[in-house]
Amino acid sequence: MQDTALFAQILGVSSPWQVESVKLSMDEGEVTVHVRHDPTVPLICPQCAAQAPGYDFRLRRWRHLDTCQYRTILSVKVPRCNCDRHGVHQVSVPWAEPGSRFTALFEALVIDWLRDASISAVARNLGLSWDQLDGIMQRAVGRGLSRREKQYPQRLGVDETSFRKRHEYITVVQDQGNGAVLHVADGRGRESLAEYYAGLDADQLGNIESVAMDMHRPYINATLQYVPDAGDRICFDKFHVAKLLGGAVDMVRRSEHAALRRGNDNTLRGTKYIWLQNPANMKPQRRGMLQQLQRSSLRTGRAWAIREFAMSLWDYSSRAWALKAWRKMLSWASRCRLEPVVKAAATIRRHLWGIINAIVLRATNAGSESLNAKIQRIKRRACGFRSRERFHTAIMFHLGGLDLYPVIR
């Protein structure tokens, strides 16, 4: 096979590069396309674009898009030139970015695949190792971050999500305006969030209107340290308050269920999720069960009613009215004699300022639940990540809203 002109066209190889020869190896299922720099065209220093005399050659190989299902390799004697001012440098090639062993078109193909398929499926189908795929993802994210314009997010969401084991966490900062992940950090301490703020200038920090988060002291402290008027910006949103009170309801249910069972009463068996679900989203049958349970004067039912009341107090636009309503809720909750609820109420009382902020600023972290689900899906698709760096890279790859593609010339 010597149709070098055809291959030059298929591969987009043009002057000063020439396809010298094409070798097909049926056994290995591989096409090797030998490319050279036209010896009659002067070399250009990659640093200053001035002509420079040749120095020597380096044989290099790039994997390209397959040709008729044959793995296709560009094998190139790349000249090095010797510039008066910059010394010896390899001339730049148009088909690949420096440092990559894949052509830009091949990397773009891999990026497309990785968006939709699991890492192992891409590795298997394209005959790539995990390290190679990781390199492509890292370069893609690096490109995306360097191209990303300076961000001025107004509404931030901060959340923790589990990594690998149950008690290992990462912190994820999201722009609630466009849903893009802005930052991923190890752990869930003050530093994990502070490192994000530390990268912002005064204009960016001053632009922040709300930061929705869990009632998590380290996140609160980091925000107080960096964000101007943080006391009016920190928002403990409905989603996280629901989680706190839901936990209290569940603890009441568990102890009541245990007590009832000692008297052979199984009223509460299998009811865990009935108490935790939002009744508005329930199927009619479930709602019927809930109503029946409500009639039987259970302690769990009382805890549930307090949570439901709290969940109805999110539509105020006046700070004063919101405060009044929540104080009423808290006075009820603190007198209910259900220990987990009394404890949750005390937590809410200490953080009421941020709940009121969330209400009047309409800060929701509804996106946080779906973000968390997306991150867990990324984790599953990769069958877990052996290293945190890879996990961070994958989150930014899929959820960073970045322009990942290499420049294709």
Q: Which residues bind Zn ion (CB under 5 A)?
A: 45, 47-48, 83, 85-86
Question: Based on CB atoms, which residue is closest to Zn ion, 18 or 90?
Answer: 90
Rounded to a whole number of angstroms, the minimum distance from the CB of residue 196 to Zn ion is: 39
Taking the least distance from each CB to Zn ion, the nearer of 35 and 45 is: 45
User: In terms of C-beta density within 10 A (0-12 exposed, 13-18 middle, 19 or more buried), how is residue 162 classed?
Assistant: middle
- By beta-carbon proximity to Zn ion, the closer residue of 80 and 243 is 80
- State which residue, 86 or 381, has the beta carbon closest to Zn ion: 86
Q: How far is the CB of 57 from Zn ion (least distance, A)?
A: 18
Sorted by sequence, the CB contacts under 8 Å of residue 63 that are 6+ apart come out as 71, 72, 73, 74, 101, 102, 103, 106
Residues 6+ apart with CB under 8 A from 242: 307, 311
- Give the closest residue to 211 by CA, choosing from 238, 230, 185, 183: 230
Identity of the residue, 47 or 370, whose beta carbon is nearer to Zn ion in the bound complex: 47
**Considering all CA atoms of the chain, what is the largest pairwise distance in Å, rounded to the nearest integer?**
97
Secondary element (H or E) of residue 217: helix 217-226
Q: In angstroms, give the least distance from the CB of 55 to Zn ion.
A: 12
Q: What is the three-state SS of 151-207?
A: CCCCEEEEEEEEECEEEEEEEEEEECCCCCEEEEEECCCHHHHHHHHHCCCHHHHHC
Q: What does each C-alpha distance from 185 to 35, 131, 165, 236, 255 come to in angstroms? A: 44, 22, 16, 21, 37
Minimum distance from residue 48 beta carbon to Zn ion (Å) = 3
- The minimum distance between CB 89 and Zn ion, in angstroms, equals 7
Least Å distance between CB 46 and Zn ion? 8
Residue closer to Zn ion, measured from CB, 83 or 93: 83
For Zn ion, the closer CB: 86 or 101: 86
Distance CA 231, CA 246 (A): 26
Shortest Å, Cβ 80 to Zn ion: 12
Least Å distance, CB 85 to Zn ion, is 5
Distance, in Å, from the CA atom of 382 to the CA atom of 398, rounded to the nearest integer, reads: 12
Which tokens is 321 given? 């009215």
Buried b (16+ CB within 10 A) or exposed e, 182-200: bbbbbbbbbebbbebbeeb
Q: Which residue, 45 or 119, is less far from Zn ion as judged by CB? A: 45
